[in-house]
Amino acid sequence: MLIDVTDAGDPRLVDYVGLRDAQLRRPEVSRFIAEGVKIIERAFAAGCTPRSLLLQPRWLPGLRELIDAWPDVPVYLASEALIEHVSGFHVHRGALGSFDRPQETGWDELLGGRRLIVCEDTVDHANLGAIIRVAAGLGWDGVLVSPGSADPLYRRAVKASMGSSLALPWRRMASDSDLQRLRDAGFTLVASTLAPGAVDLAGLEPPAKAALLLGTEGQGLSDAWSAAADRHVTIPMAAGVDSLNVATAAAILAYALRP
Amino acid sequence: MLIDVTDAGDPRLVDYVGLRDAQLRRPEVSRFIAEGVKIIERAFAAGCTPRSLLLQPRWLPGLRELIDAWPDVPVYLASEALIEHVSGFHVHRGALGSFDRPQETGWDELLGGRRLIVCEDTVDHANLGAIIRVAAGLGWDGVLVSPGSADPLYRRAVKASMGSSLALPWRRMASDSDLQRLRDAGFTLVASTLAPGAVDLAGLEPPAKAALLLGTEGQGLSDAWSAAADRHVTIPMAAGVDSLNVATAAAILAYALRP
């Protein structure tokens, strides 16, 4: 259903208003925003239910099949300037989609896997998205995020994940004590740390079921999470370099411990 | 030399004007900008020559030793608002430094190493900085960038590298034919590619001297660079995921082929 829009105050665009604000960083919001044609396509491919699209008309031909398959979904057509005005940021190549927020994956499914990444307070959306993209790309079974972590379905996290946060199983932990669920299900908790005493990653025999615990950039894992881990592993650093970016470290660890 | 500044038009701040503009992306500019106290400290530690600093006064105590060691270097003290107004962007925690641009590393030194990353047209500053950080962190000897790549000393690249682009040897290639210099020096050119026929990274015996060729995100390596390579290696991807971010892939490759 194509609808031309020329008024930035059009109330039908409510899903797209003020996307730079923190409102959609709250996971309780019932929708998420896909930014760019590729991410919109991946949201459809992941089975997400569209609420509406907001596009420059130039994107219509490429999205024609999807739009035809969802004839009741409003497709608002607007200028790049209007899209930027409504959303409050420069929308790269002018295509946004609003979708119903999918359910988080249940514990049973996650615990049935053999490789999980567990993020403690990953607050940066780009890092969180990159970690999820790595997990999906390297065949890991899912991601858990601590209560203090960013939202994997926030616009920028979805984009950084290249849509993987829509397809890879993930769940937010209710509390730190959910780490015990992992151990009870047979997972070895492997802490990534630069602390002394950790084993060199190259010397770690990958466990049958591994949950890789990643800390915050800068601080690393909390004492509580580090104490909860079964193994402590480190990526040896060259002299004079103190750390890697958390997503970069995740990539190396997820590769070395790949399923 | 502490100097209070209250006028955003003060001509002494010329190094800091309009940093969002493309001017400093041109490598011929004779300076670079360090953003944030940590990067400023790393620029000093790397032996870079300061031209001036522009700070909120709150950062003075932490930088006192460096400022005392360079008594002739002007340290402009200004409000966060003034710094933002001059620079044209929100300066995270209000500290900038302008330094003389260091010389690029000579060929002899680079070719004397055993592990080099070679970036073909890495145009994203964050990705380029992340790649340099990875190379430094994992003990690689240096980085080469193609003529079309971004500037490793552009503000955002320096920041993303956590200052590694000031410490790790690197050089811009004059042309693609510089790849031949690498081969002549005994390097095996290892192309990272998703093209069919590439060997699984896990099956690649690391060469004695390896030059890892990384393509652009999205397109990958050009046909010319791919044809110039001695080996073609791939990181196996899970079904349904087409690629990793170039910096993430670089991390995995640099780890697997670590010196």
The model's pLDDT over A15-52, given as tens digits with 9 standing for 90+, comes to 998 887 655 555 557 899 999 999 999 999 999 999 99
Contact assessment for residue A191 and residue A167, using Cβ atoms and an 8 Å cutoff: no
CA angle, A155 then A28 then A184, to 5°: 100
Distance CA A162, CA A148 (A): 23
Distance CA A199, CA A197 (A): 6
Contact across the interface for A248 and B130, Cβ inside 8 Å = yes
> How close B5 gets to chain A, by Cα (Å)?
32
What residues does B214 pair with on adjacent strands? B119
Give the pLDDT score at B23.
52
Q: Which residues of chain A have pLDDT under 50?
A: none
Contact across the interface for A133 and B244, Cβ inside 8 Å = yes
Give contacts of B130 with chain A, Cβ < 8 Å. 245, 248
Give the pLDDT score at B243.
83
Q: What is the mean pLDDT of each successive set of 10 residues along chain B, which is 259 residues long? A: 93 87 60 94 96 96 95 96 89 88 96 98 94 97 96 94 96 96 98 90 95 90 95 91 89 96
Give the pLDDT score at A28.
56
Contact assessment for residue B192 and residue B212, using Cβ atoms and an 8 Å cutoff: yes
Distance CA B127, CA A248 (A): 11
What residues does B4 pair with on adjacent strands? B77
Contact across the interface for A243 and B130, Cβ inside 8 Å = no
Nearest to B251 among A133, A240, A248 (CB): A248
Give contacts of A138 with chain B, Cβ < 8 Å. 235, 237-238
Give the pLDDT score at B28.
56
Nearest to B241 among A164, A251, A252 (CB): A164
Give the pLDDT score at A240.
80
CATH number belonging to domain B2-100: 3.30.1330.30
Give the pLDDT score at B26.
56
> How close B7 gets to chain A, by Cα (Å)?
30
- Residue spans of alpha helices (H) in B138-258: 155-160, 164-167, 178-184, 223-228, 246-256
Distance CA A244, CA A242 (A): 7
Give the pLDDT score at B93.
73
Nearest to A252 among B167, B243, B252 (CB): B252
Contact across the interface for B137 and A238, Cβ inside 8 Å = yes
Give the pLDDT score at B22.
55
Contact assessment for residue A137 and residue B201, using Cβ atoms and an 8 Å cutoff: no
Give the chain B residue nearest A236 (alpha carbons).
Answer: B138
Specify the CATH class of A107-256 in words: alpha beta
Nearest to A130 among B235, B240, B248 (CB): B248
Contact across the interface for A248 and B167, Cβ inside 8 Å = no
Give the pLDDT score at A22.
54
Domain ranges across chain B:
2-100, 107-256
Give contacts of B243 with chain A, Cβ < 8 Å. 137, 162
Distance CA A8, CA A183 (A): 52
Contact assessment for residue A120 and residue A69, using Cβ atoms and an 8 Å cutoff: no
Contact across the interface for B134 and A244, Cβ inside 8 Å = yes
> How close A2 gets to chain B, by Cα (Å)?
30
